[in-house]
Amino acid sequence: MIDRERALAIQQRALHDLMVFLGGAEPHSRLVERDGVTAAIVPATPTRSLPNSVTYADAGRLAASLDELAGEYESAGVDAWTVWTPDFDREAAAALEGAGHVLDGGPAAMILELDGFEVPDPGDLDHDSEADVATLGALNDVAYGDAHGPGLAPSFARRPEALDLRLYRALVGGEVASVLCTIDHLHPGGDAPRDPPAQAGPGGGPDCGIYFVATHPSFRGRGLATRLLAVALAGARERGCATSSLQASPMGEPLYAGLGYQRCFRLHMYERRN
């Protein structure tokens, strides 16, 4: 069992790298980093707060940066942005509420220890790691009801650099039916993947972050996402990853819990709209 302090460190690194992804996946997007505060600014989706996200390491530094962040988003033409906050960080929550942010979601911060984890058999799943970022965005929009609105797709135009990124897809009859993205993160003070993998003890090796899991509505009920995730986790363990982390929606949380992920806390998303 990973204690809360270690879980927070893993999740903070995972969220930081998510901001790097979001800030680099579209030519006009950018990353702002100030004193432990990291923001993705994505003008391609000005009314969507998820791509325009902020994470931080210290509540006081976050509070001191809120006016500057508001100015950065306003100058970029972004109308909605959000800050990811652990549910126990009352100092950050008070600062955000005082600055006009509103609690808009509470995904579960979940972690799976890969040491001793029995990877489910993906069966006859037709899969590869040849997905592209545009497909990742488009299928997420279809899966979550944004296919005809300002979803993720406009902000997912290119593969971000400087990330250990993998894009998995499951195919049915040659059609992309399910997708997910992984990013390998070093634990704070951790090591790069090792060979052989067994040398990486619990919590000591890299963390494999799971993002943007989606299945086309026409192909739901076949366990595609679960089996594709099993493929990704098997690869992560082979690379020497010690843990896998994710931020689960209420719909996804039971799926991940069934695989062995543990909810360590919730992440409150404090949105601000201009």
Q: What's residue 148's pLDDT?
A: 53
Separation between Cα atoms, residue 231 and residue 247, nearest integer Å: 19
Read off the pTM: 0.92
Q: What's residue 8's pLDDT?
A: 97
Domain for residue 271, yes or no? no
For residues 169 and 253, state if they share a domain.
yes
The residue among 91, 107, 123 that closes a domain is 107
Q: Facing residues of 88 across strands? A: none
For residues 134 and 147, state if they share a domain.
yes
Q: What's residue 64's pLDDT?
A: 98
Q: Where are the beta strands (DSSP E) in the chain?
A: 30-34, 37-41, 53-56, 80-86, 102-105, 108-113, 126-128, 164-172, 175-185, 207-215, 243-248, 262-273
Domain for residue 274, yes or no? no
Give, in order, the Cα–Cα distances in Å from 18 to each of 122, 212, 247. 27, 10, 11
For residues 26 and 120, state if they share a domain.
no
198 has pLDDT over 60: no
Number of domains the chain is built from = 2
**What number is the average pLDDT over the span 77-103?**
98
Separation between Cα atoms, residue 171 and residue 174, nearest integer Å: 5
**What number is the average pLDDT over the span 23-30?**
97
200 has pLDDT over 70: no
For residues 95 and 138, state if they share a domain.
no
User: 124 with 238: CB under 8 angstroms?
Assistant: no
The residue among 85, 107, 129 that closes a domain is 107
For residues 117 and 101, state if they share a domain.
no
For residues 51 and 179, state if they share a domain.
no
For residues 60 and 160, state if they share a domain.
no
User: 247 with 86: CB under 8 angstroms?
Assistant: no
46 has pLDDT over 50: yes
For residues 68 and 181, state if they share a domain.
no
CATH of the domain at 179: 3.40.630.30
Q: What's residue 90's pLDDT?
A: 98
For residues 63 and 126, state if they share a domain.
no
Give, in order, the Cα–Cα distances in Å from 48 to each of 51, 159, 237. 6, 20, 34
The residue among 107, 130, 147 that closes a domain is 107
For residues 103 and 187, state if they share a domain.
no
Q: What tens digit of pLDDT does each residue of 221-274 get? A: 999 999 999 999 999 999 999 999 999 999 899 999 999 999 999 999 999 998
Note down the domain range covering 209. 111-266
Q: What's residue 188's pLDDT?
A: 52
For residues 59 and 160, state if they share a domain.
no
